[in-house]
Structure 1
Amino acid sequence: MSVNKVRSALYFVSRILGDANAVKRGKVGKRIARRLAGKGTGRLLGKLFR
């Protein structure tokens, strides 16, 4: 197994744990909004610096 696959798996698990923690604390909406804002910002910056 390569280092990149291990890293990808760890990031995936951490995202799942973060989602579970948000559900536990009742902050799912805020987490979803931040994730969407981050994706939008990343796409915008990607188009700017292409």
Structure 2
Amino acid sequence: MRINNIRKALYGIAKVLGDVNAVKKGKVGKRVGRRVAGKGTGKLLGKLFK
């Protein structure tokens, strides 16, 4: 289980770094929109292949 914890931490750090980068470039809206679209698509596909 240790490798899973490390992976989770690394992905969390990458997410934060991506947010910081988006703020620097002024593209926060685009990033938020893509995140919302991705979550919606994931939920839809999850229901389809349940």
Which range, TM-score by smaller chain? over 0.9
Identify the residue that residue 7 of structure 2 maps to in structure 1: 7
Gaps of 5+ in 2: none
Gaps of 5+ in 1: none
Q: Which ranges of 4 or more aligned residues in structure 1 deviate by more than 4 Å?
A: none
The secondary structure found in structure 2 opposite 1:44 is helix
TM-score (norm 2): 0.98
Q: State the percentage of identical aligned residues.
A: 66
Count of residue pairs the alignment pairs up: 50
Identify the residue that residue 44 of structure 1 maps to in structure 2: 44
TM-score (norm 1): 0.98
AA at the equivalent of 1:36 = V
